[in-house]
Structure 1
Amino acid sequence: MNLSQVKRAIVSAQSLAAGRHNVLDAAHSDVAADGRAVPGPRITVTLKPDLPGAFPIDSASFDAFRAELAAKEVAFFGRNIFQSFGVGPRRFLASQSESRSRHVAHFHADGTAGWATEGPVRHAFIPSAGIAEPTESWDSDGVVLRVLAVLQGLAEHAVSRAEASGTATARLTLDAGPNQVACGLASNSTSSAHLVFSSTERHTATGKAGVLLDAAAEAGPGLVQAAAALLADCFQNFGVVEAEQLTLDGRIKLHSWGPRNRDQVSRWAQSRGVEIIDAS
């Protein structure tokens, strides 16, 4: 391969990557702007396979899609997550209800998918403030749980319905919502009250990460690894290096979760073959 061919190959690869990111960003914008979602703080996760898959948009596949999601139990969310269904341009639509829905998702024919869910914002205290006045902050446990559940659902769509494989790019956005105050990150892993541990507050924070589709769809260590990378890229907007509840090599740090979440996280990890460290 001569120099000219190398240059053309580089340009072609850059163009292909830019195209994938454009598709990812468009899908992210579409589901984030879906008017059926409840207003207020919102978490949006989108996933785009690097090599597109395909599944048919027809009556038979729509009936199967609707029956499957209506009966599905989603980790950390439970049942009855999706009860309203529709069709959009080259995609199926699902939501918990027709309006003010806690969950809204778009499942595209090429394996791309986006899911917006109600964001866990609560009152928390700033340890160094010396005052008892609480501030609005993201509950970091709630964010991590939602990202694990949603990312697995999106990867499962890409693998099981669209038969995509290989790698994908995921995007995560934490959005405090219009007319809302900027939020930091809070945890109650070391106290009975939620304490803010981030150094920066943001109205919106976004992260991106690569995902191994098959591993993420299986909801084991590969999912934890992908979620940890995605959360780290997002949390760094708050001045936090990574999500303390997960490790980048796919393990659960149980002591970094709040007490009320430790049992369910431990049960989930054990059922999925995910290693738990610092369990004491």
Structure 2
Amino acid sequence: MLRSPRLEALFGKRLDQVTFADVQGLVGREEAAEAADLDYKELVHAKNPEQKAEFCKDVVAMANDRGGALIVGVREDGDQAIPEAITKVDVTDGERQRLYAVLTNTAPHPLAVDIVPVNDPDDPGRGVLLVLVERSALAPHTVLDTREKVHHRDGWLRYPIRNGAATRWMQEPEIATRYRDRFTHGRSVQDRVSEVELECLLAYEERDQWDGGDDGSASQPSSPLAPRVPHIPYFEENREPARPVLAVTVAPEVAGRLVINRASLMEFQRSIGTTSVLVGRDVTFENVQVAPGRLLASFGAPIIGLYAEFHEDGSGTFLVTLLPPKSDDTVELFAQDAMFYVLSGLRCLGRHARDRTGATGVAAIRCSILGGINELGGAETVLPHRGDPYEIKLISESNHGEYANLRSTTRAVGNAFAHVDDLAVDGPGLISAAAMVSNEACHAFGLPEVPLLDINGTINFHHWGPRMKPTIAAWANTFGAGT
């Protein structure tokens, strides 16, 4: 669903919450004039090729530009393009499906478009349609313009883009440049994931004060899921012990924008302090800081249990310190704990991307389970003082056979893609994304797929142990996922 700070400020609410009275309130307002991200149409007639072509042209132009809203059922003033009257149109499901079909037939490549009905409470089935268009990472999109068949029997593929409050056709150099950007962007977003993940791990390494004590013991990180362990073996040559961590990273293909200033920091502090960071658990970040191009949050001080970095473009990393072993060099990681942290991290980062920065579209996601920060590619050259990484063994509290013969590893990494909106909302989309990225990460342990979550968006409760099952079941019951 489109998120636009400008349009939301115009309506005073999220676009999917707009009422008929809110649309009526636009009439006569200069600030509601047509713009690059806002357009009006009286109607889109089912049998009028000209109207259908113009409708598709305007929608695709927004997808090729910055996204926006097209409101069908409003007449604007011809001179100033200010809303002049609400004309109302059919807002039934049948009309919405017809417009979706018009877009599919005229715009060959799928678009991220939501057609939201806004009913007039005094006139059932009538009102206005909000056509909400997201900026597309797959731009440039075309429309099949069939209005000039005299020159070509099937029509022409053309590339529209917004030009202020109007729409124009893109020229050949622009089209070539946009195609180049499309094909390079898929690679660059993976590079962005690696960059953001590495920066977070190194920053965490600098800020955390988990080290060996004078008596050979070490301080312990705070954990929201398990008690502290009384002892960590101290490494030879007085090197600090390795830090086993689980890190979740998100990088949206369509970047958002967050201006870091006093106001945004205060809002960040408020939201971080009142919103639980873990699914189904009342745990909030305790400490907030500012760093170049990002906001930081952590739980536990001076020994950090949770640490996250939230970047201006909507990317970020959510890091969890795994509890080290009591007596040897192998960390036993409960699979249900890992899945719980992956779900929590993806949701936390998805909400930052969507709600705080306005990022949209598909996001690259990564899950890294590391026996030590040295195990992150390239980082070992700058961390010579760290001890050897731990071996990590994946185990199950429920003693399911899938975990019986798994191998230990110092590094398990999974990559996947998911829509930003799916990550930001408790529901099947979040579960599916967590399952996909976790399945690939757990291949390093010899596990073909994680049985606790299913890529179809359900939770397999019988695979969760008694310690975590009540928490995850209560969370899933809020949106009806589970088997």
Q: Normalising by structure 1, report the TM-score.
A: 0.84
What is the CA–CA distance in structure 2 between the aligned matches of 1:9 and 1:54, rounded to whole Å? 21
In structure 2, the partner of 1:119 is 322
What is the CA–CA distance in structure 2 between the aligned matches of 1:77 and 1:267, rounded to whole Å? 7
Pair 1:58–1:9, CA change in 2 (3 A): closer
What is the CA–CA distance in structure 1 between the aligned matches of 2:182 and 2:278, rounded to whole Å? 37
Q: Which residue, out of 76, 92, 102, partners 2:305?
A: 102
In structure 1, the partner of 2:8 is none
In structure 2, the partner of 1:30 is 199
In structure 2, the partner of 1:128 is none
8 Å CA contact 1:148, 1:223 repeated in 2: yes
Pair 1:166–1:28, CA change in 2 (3 A): same
Deviates more, 1:163-172 or 1:134-143: 134-143
Q: Which residue, out of 341, 349, 352, partners 1:146?
A: 341
2:268 pairs with 1:49: no
Q: Which residue, out of 246, 261, 265, partners 1:62?
A: 265
In structure 2, the partner of 1:15 is 184
What is the CA–CA distance in structure 2 between the aligned matches of 1:195 and 1:19, rounded to whole Å? 36
Pair 1:152–1:198, CA change in 2 (3 A): farther
Deviates more, 1:236-245 or 1:16-25: 16-25
What is the CA–CA distance in structure 2 between the aligned matches of 1:161 and 1:223, rounded to whole Å? 18
Pair 1:113–1:140, CA change in 2 (3 A): same
Which deviations, in whole Å up to 9, do the C-alpha atoms of 1:218-256 show, x marking residues without a partner? 111110000000100100111111111010101011111
What is the CA–CA distance in structure 1 between the aligned matches of 2:317 and 2:266, rounded to whole Å? 20
2:371 pairs with 1:176: yes
8 Å CA contact 1:71, 1:80 repeated in 2: no
Q: What is the deviation of 1:208?
A: 0.6
The residue type paired with residue 208 of structure 1 is N
What is the CA–CA distance in structure 2 between the aligned matches of 1:242 and 1:66, rounded to whole Å? 37
SS for the counterpart of 1:40 is coil
Q: Which residue, out of 186, 196, 208, partners 2:415?
A: 208
Q: What is the deviation of 1:15?
A: 2.3
8 Å CA contact 1:181, 1:203 repeated in 2: yes
SS for the counterpart of 2:366 is strand
Which deviations, in whole Å up to 9, do the C-alpha atoms of 1:160-180 show, x marking residues without a partner? 001112210111100122424
What is the CA–CA distance in structure 1 between the aligned matches of 2:250 and 2:456, rounded to whole Å? 20
What is the CA–CA distance in structure 2 between the aligned matches of 1:87 and 1:151, rounded to whole Å? 21
What is the CA–CA distance in structure 1 between the aligned matches of 2:351 and 2:448, rounded to whole Å? 28
Q: Which residue, out of 229, 234, 237, partners 2:444?
A: 237
The residue type paired with residue 209 of structure 1 is A
What is the CA–CA distance in structure 2 between the aligned matches of 1:113 and 1:54, rounded to whole Å? 13
8 Å CA contact 2:278, 2:341 repeated in 1: no
2:474 pairs with 1:267: yes
Q: How does 1:126-141 map to 2 (within 5 A)?
A: 136-141=331-336
Q: Which residue, out of 455, 458, 477, partners 1:251?
A: 458
8 Å CA contact 2:280, 2:474 repeated in 1: no
2:355 pairs with 1:186: no
Deviates more, 1:198-207 or 1:158-167: 198-207
Deviates more, 1:177-186 or 1:47-56: 177-186
What is the CA–CA distance in structure 2 between the aligned matches of 1:111 and 1:89, rounded to whole Å? 14
Structure 1: which 5+ runs fail to align? 124-132
SS for the counterpart of 2:276 is coil
Q: Which residue, out of 286, 294, 298, partners 1:91?
A: 294
What is the CA–CA distance in structure 2 between the aligned matches of 1:80 and 1:270, rounded to whole Å? 19
Pair 1:155–1:268, CA change in 2 (3 A): same
Q: What is the deviation of 1:149?
A: 0.8
Q: What is the deviation of 1:11?
A: 5.7
What is the CA–CA distance in structure 2 between the aligned matches of 1:42 and 1:74, rounded to whole Å? 17
Pair 1:122–1:268, CA change in 2 (3 A): farther
In structure 2, the partner of 1:161 is 356
Q: What is the deviation of 1:14?
A: 3.9
Q: What is the deviation of 1:258?
A: 1.2
Q: What is the deviation of 1:69?
A: 0.4
Q: What is the deviation of 1:73?
A: 1.8
Q: Normalising by structure 2, report the TM-score.
A: 0.50
Pair 1:85–1:71, CA change in 2 (3 A): same
Which deviations, in whole Å up to 9, do the C-alpha atoms of 1:195-238 show, x marking residues without a partner? 94353221011111111111221111110000000100100111
8 Å CA contact 1:209, 1:229 repeated in 2: yes
Q: Which has the larger radius of gyration?
A: 2
In structure 1, the partner of 2:426 is 219
The residue type paired with residue 277 of structure 2 is V
Deviates more, 1:21-30 or 1:198-207: 198-207
Aligned residues: 262
Structure 2: which 5+ runs fail to align? 1-156, 158-172, 209-220, 222-241, 373-386
4+ residue runs of structure 1 moved beyond 4 angstroms?
5-12, 120-123
Pair 1:62–1:49, CA change in 2 (3 A): same
Deviates more, 1:64-73 or 1:89-98: 89-98
What is the CA–CA distance in structure 2 between the aligned matches of 1:240 and 1:10, rounded to whole Å? 39
- How high is the sequence identity, in percent, across the aligned residues? 25
RMSD, aligned CA: 2.7
The residue type paired with residue 183 of structure 1 is I
